Structure 1
Amino acid sequence: MSRNGQSARFEGKVAMVTGAGSGMGAAVARQLAAEGAKVVVLADVNGESAAAVAKDVAVGRAVSLDVAHAAAVDAAVEDVLQEFGRLDVLVHAAGVDDPEVKQWIADALAAGRPPEVTDRLADPAWRRVMTINLDGTFHVLRAAVRAMRPAGAGAIVVIGSSSAFDTPVGYPHYAASKAGVHALSQAVAKEVVASGIRVNVVAPGPTETGMAARTPAALRTGFADPRVRPYATPEEIADIALFLASDAAANLIGAVLLANGGRFTA
């Protein structure tokens, strides 16, 4: 058992969570600590948010980190190795959406017309989503593998998205970024399993996070289908992520677990 009486799947582990300042990342960090982790490094582009969550995590250490900057990611992981000697678990939850495009889609729905996004989508909007979501995932995976390969062990879990499968109308850059995240993670998983490292992906559907809170009402209504489960909680997605990071998932390599409440299957 862990220090608070919960299961101790991560007893003594050194863990790092990106995007830990809110939502799924924060839920993962809290649960890692509750299940016995020796230390949980909470990394987020908003250092103040990470620090606020770390106050609730007895073994938490907050770090300001923009995953789009490769050198910063390398330095953050190296700091973990220097202080604690190893990195056992990394959960990568950092990512962004595009609130402006979501509003375009909502406006189109309200007007009863199809969304018109691709021909309006500017290069900076495309690059922002791809740089943070896809390039950022590469930076984090690369740094984690560099840290874990010498030890011959480690578990990496990446938060993807069900949007990679259903490719929502009017959201091409986000869908493309997450599809790339899935393929990247699976390719890395097949490579590094020989070094004792497991890489897997959770692909959530609608989840109650800060990102979801910025979703226009018209789009949220579209997800309110009584035939399926409502929006997931961050804790529900964290449970899946931590299962993948645990020894119970030892035979899962390169899995993409679709966690969308039954909206569709893949």
Structure 2
Amino acid sequence: MRSALVVGADGGIGREVVSQLRTEGFGPVATVDQRGEVDHLIDVSDLRDGSAYRRWTDSLEDDGIPDVIAWTVGIYPRTEPARYDARTIGDVVDTNLTSFLVFAAALARVQRRDSRTRRLVVVGSQAGNTGGTDAVYAASKAGLGAAVKSLAREFASLRLIANVVSPGPTDTSMAAVMGDRRAHYESTIPLGRFNDPREVAQVVVWLLANAPAALHGTAVDVDGGLVRR
């Protein structure tokens, strides 16, 4: 039976990924979240806490990493650009990007010792491609996508298949802050609606469970036809 790890399992997409992995027959499905609401491998109360994060990655190196990993971490600053400061920027970039790079380094170390083939799917955002409506969030997600593409070359030699899923606007807690702007955003999407988190999770789980290994180092858009690249 294949095992799975979902990082960011307390978010709307992360919860759906956990549910669908279990339906797909994965077990156990270990999770890492910030609220402790899901059965978890370890409770990381704040991914920006460097010492806590090092303890977690050290434990992964000691205990081993499951067969498939879904990275669904992301926070949105909800701050007007004129109110940005170094702390706000650092919080978003550290959570959305730096935490993944630290994890990727630990994952590479494990893969060098362990010849098992593993799969990694990282949930980015179309904001990283279009610029979105928040510069800091968009920059962090653009960096995340670029990091996976860059790491894909080394990961291939380590028997680690890695891809990015880039959702467009999705019905999660982030969408709830849009208020009256939601109707405008929906009008720009050919399907005329936001993604259901279950739709994004379906693509993530397919990449983890059933996609051909030749699909590696790429980004899969789930956006109702928004970008069409």
TM-score (norm 1): 0.78
Structure 1 unaligned spans of 5+: 1-11, 55-60, 102-116
Is contact 1:87–1:147 with CA below 8 Å preserved after alignment?
Answer: no
Aligned with 1:64 (options 43, 64, 75): 43
Does residue 211 of structure 1 match 2:174?
Answer: yes
**Closer/same/farther in 2, CA of residues 70 and 32 from structure 1, 3 Å limit:** farther
Query: What is the match of residue 150 of structure 1?
Result: 113
Match of 1:132 among 79, 91, 95: 95
- Equivalent residue for 1:3? none
Residues 87/29 of structure 1: CA separation in 2 closer, same or farther (3 Å cut): same
- Indicate yes or no: 2:184 matched with 1:222: yes
Distance 1:123 1:81, change over 3 A: closer
Matches within 5 A, 1:41-190: 41-47=30-36, 49-50=37-38, 54=39, 61=40, 63-65=42-44, 66-79=46-59, 85-101=64-80, 117=81, 119-152=82-115, 153-169=117-133, 171-190=134-153
Q: Give the aligned partner of residue 196 of structure 2.
A: 233
Structure 2 residue runs of 5 or longer lacking an equivalent are: none
Query: What is the CA deviation profile of residues 144-168 of structure 1, one whole-angstrom value per residue up to 9, with x for unaligned ones?
Result: 2333342222111101000011102
Q: 1:250 aligns with which of 187, 194, 213?
A: 213
The alignment yields a C-alpha RMSD, in angstroms, of: 2.0
Tell me which amino acid in the other structure corresponds to 1:100.
T
Aligned to 2:3: 14
Q: Secondary structure at the match of 2:125?
A: coil
Could you say if the C-alpha distance between residues 33 and 80 of structure 1 is closer, same or farther in structure 2, counting changes exceeding 3 Å?
Answer: farther
- Per-residue CA deviations over 1:194-229 (Å, capped at 9, x if unaligned) read 11101110000111112222x231321221227324
Matching residue's letter, 1:76: W
Structure 1 residues 70-100: Cα deviation after superposition (integer angstroms, max 9, x where no partner): 55345435545655x5421110101100123
- 1:92–1:140 CA contact under 8 A, matched in 2: no
Going from structure 1 to structure 2, the CA distance change for 1:74 and 1:251 (only over 3 Å counts) comes to: farther
Contact kept in structure 1, 2:165 and 2:220, CA below 8 Å: yes
Q: How many correspondences in the alignment?
A: 226
Q: Which has the larger radius of gyration?
A: 1
Structure 1's 81 and 191: CA in aligned 2 closer, same or farther, altered over 3 A? Answer: closer
TM-score for the superposition, normalised by structure 2 = 0.89
